[in-house]
Amino acid sequence: MTPVTERESWRALGAHAASVAPRHLREWFAVDPGRTRRYTLEAAGLFIDWSRHRIDDRALELLIALSADRDLPAWTERLFSGHPVNGTEQRAALHVALRAGAGDPGTAAGAAAARATRILDGVREFASGVREGRIGGSRGMAFTDVVNIGIGGSDLGPGMVITALQDRDEPGPRVRMVSNLDPVDLRDALRGLDPARTLVVVGSKSFTTLETLANARLARDWIGARLGPQAIARHFAAATGNAAAAREFGIAPERIFDVPEWAGGRYSLWSAIGLPAMIAIGPERFDRLLAGAHAMDRHFLESPAHRNLPVIVALLGIWCTNFLGATSHAVLPYDQRLRDLPAHLQQLEMESNGKSVDRDGQPVGCSTAPVVWGSAGTDGQHAYFQLLHQGTVLVPSDLIVMRETPPGDESAHRLLVANCLAQAQVLALGSDDDAQAHRRCLGNQPCSVIVGDRLDPETLGALVALYEHKVFVQAVVWGINPFDQWGVELGKTLARSMADRLGGPASGDDSPLLERLRGTRTPR
């Protein structure tokens, strides 16, 4: 595979970037006032304004040509058809099938969609039973609390959906998320809970994840010590691709829900891994989440590149990372309910595209995933926005805001939206105060503003799918595999070996650090 940096389309982009990079966004707007309308798109309930990027029509034309040169249409078709696009593991990546409905069982994607539908039917029935009190614990009492134990994609995605969509006034079990191997995390989650009314959900595709199993065993001990070993089967459920291991753990077969091998962790929110979210928001609203993602899938698959939201967002990222020199990207939701979205996108983008070799194992030759970070926008304004406005580094950003808010909060919401728009303007244009250098904001920070009508399940589903497809488009252009994570796997392997050394006898090969930490124990 020819490295992307050796393509003529890449060289043309480099030459064009050198010619336009010195221009300030104030100049872009002065010479092209029509960009505020021309550089917008709307699809699947989302509207995006990218006019505040340091980009022009020629750069967009060259970026789209680069994506075509890298066979993006063909790769997109492979993704949706069930081709093994995860080359190092010889797997498909059919997360799109999880939200496609039954489909045509005569195709690989259709068969995957049909399988996903059957699995989710069982998850819906179980979630409804827990919410309505028909499914309870060993003493016949309804569950009032659910503790989800997972990590990475088995925690970040479902937790983000719960934070964004759960109606705190609606009756139903409270859901607590546990991911950290530090026992404090589980201890805090279990504090104050009645074990007779607590359901523990274990989310692990392999059912071998070190952190998840360590916490799951502690939770099993907690249930067993208080209700007896026979109660464990009634107080646990699992979302996993390893049903045998879940049964061996003590979970009843009817409470084990399959996660297909082609549903990668950071793309598995839409599968049985979403069980805690389905319990929290209800099966009907979870289905609407799937529908919103499916609407974005269809838009991505069917729209031409110049009218394609995920393609445009991805190419803007490539322009900023590879041709303007940005090394990080901020995600700034102006909605408190989306405060967990940046953490979900950190895993999605950096675990997917944090690669230095291409699909053939050769050096990729250019920067790939930037560092993704962020928080709720108004909080950030009183923390790191100072760096964005007057610092020395280029930081492109996405500002996300909703047009509507729940009734009764109109004035506060108007102020929230005003802050979003004001920050976008200052990031792009800076200030005109040349008299006092200390007050001067240089601007010229690229940013997109993404708008939804309201934060409902459809909007959230479309938003997450937008970023999923952005990651895929960028991976195709860079020539990398976004669906494996061998760096993560190496860390897991070494941790098991290091745990044995920490618990074993001293050795002459021990470092001072290992000597210091051997025999780590809790205080008496």
pLDDT tens readout for residues 342-365: 999 999 999 999 999 999 999 999
Architecture of domain 95-286: 3-Layer(aba) Sandwich (3.40)
Angle of helix 108-132 relative to helix 72-81, nearest 10 degrees, comes to: 60
Provide the pLDDT for residue 493.
79
4-69+303-486 and 95-286 have identical folds: yes
Chain position carrying tokens 């800076």: 430
3 state SS of 168? coil
pLDDT at 441 over 70: yes
pLDDT > 90 in the chain, percent: 83
Provide the pLDDT for residue 524.
42
pLDDT tens string 459-478: 999 999 999 999 999 999 99
More confident residue, 36 or 519: 36
Q: How far is CA 391 from CA 18, 37, 296, 373, in A?
A: 22, 30, 36, 16
Tally the C-alpha atoms within 13 A of residue 141's C-alpha that lie toward its C-beta: 13
pLDDT at 374 over 80: yes
More confident residue, 434 or 29: 29
Q: Which CATH number fits domain 4-69+303-486: 3.30.420.40, 3.40.50.10490, 3.20.20.150, 3.40.50.150?
A: 3.40.50.10490
Per-residue pLDDT band for 495 (boundaries 50, 70, 90) equals: confident
The sign of the torsion formed by the CA atoms of 173, 154, 477, 398 equals positive
Provide the pLDDT for residue 20.
92
CA 275/CA 103 separation, integer angstroms: 22
Domains of the chain: which residue ranges? 4-69+303-486, 95-286
CA 188/CA 227 separation, integer angstroms: 20
Provide the pLDDT for residue 104.
61
CA 154/CA 108 separation, integer angstroms: 25
Cβ-contact 278, 166 below 8 angstroms:
no
Chain position carrying tokens 């091998």: 261
pLDDT tens string 391-423: 999 999 999 999 987 777 888 999 999 999 999
Token pair for 64:
């789209």
CA 60/CA 41 separation, integer angstroms: 14
SS (H, E, C) 309-361: HHHHHHHHHHHHHHHCCCCEEEEEECCHHHCCHHHHHHHHHHHHHCCCECCCC
Provide the pLDDT for residue 433.
65
pLDDT at 171 over 90: no
pLDDT at 266 over 80: yes
Provide the pLDDT for residue 516.
82
pLDDT at 275 over 70: yes
pLDDT > 70 in the chain, percent: 97
Cβ-contact 249, 216 below 8 angstroms:
yes
SS (H, E, C) 393-444: CCCCEEEEEECCCCCCCHHHHHHHHHHHHHHHHHHHHCCCCCCCHHHCCCCC
Average predicted confidence (pLDDT) for the chain: 93
More confident residue, 486 or 389: 389
pLDDT tens string 199-255: 999 999 999 998 999 999 999 999 999 999 999 999 999 999 999 999 999 999 999
pLDDT tens string 289-347: 999 999 999 999 999 999 999 999 999 999 999 999 999 999 999 999 999 999 999 99
pLDDT tens string 92-113: 999 999 998 766 666 778 888 8
Contacts of 433 (CB under 8 A, 6+ apart): 439, 440
Indicate the DSSP class of residue 304: -
Contacts of 160 (CB under 8 A, 6+ apart): 338, 340, 341, 343, 344
pLDDT at 167 over 90: no
Per-residue pLDDT band for 510 (boundaries 50, 70, 90) equals: confident
Provide the pLDDT for residue 521.
55
Provide the pLDDT for residue 435.
63
CA 459/CA 349 separation, integer angstroms: 20
Provide the pLDDT for residue 395.
98
Residues with catalytic roles: 351, 382, 492
pLDDT at 285 over 90: yes
Contacts of 278 (CB under 8 A, 6+ apart): 123, 124, 127, 286
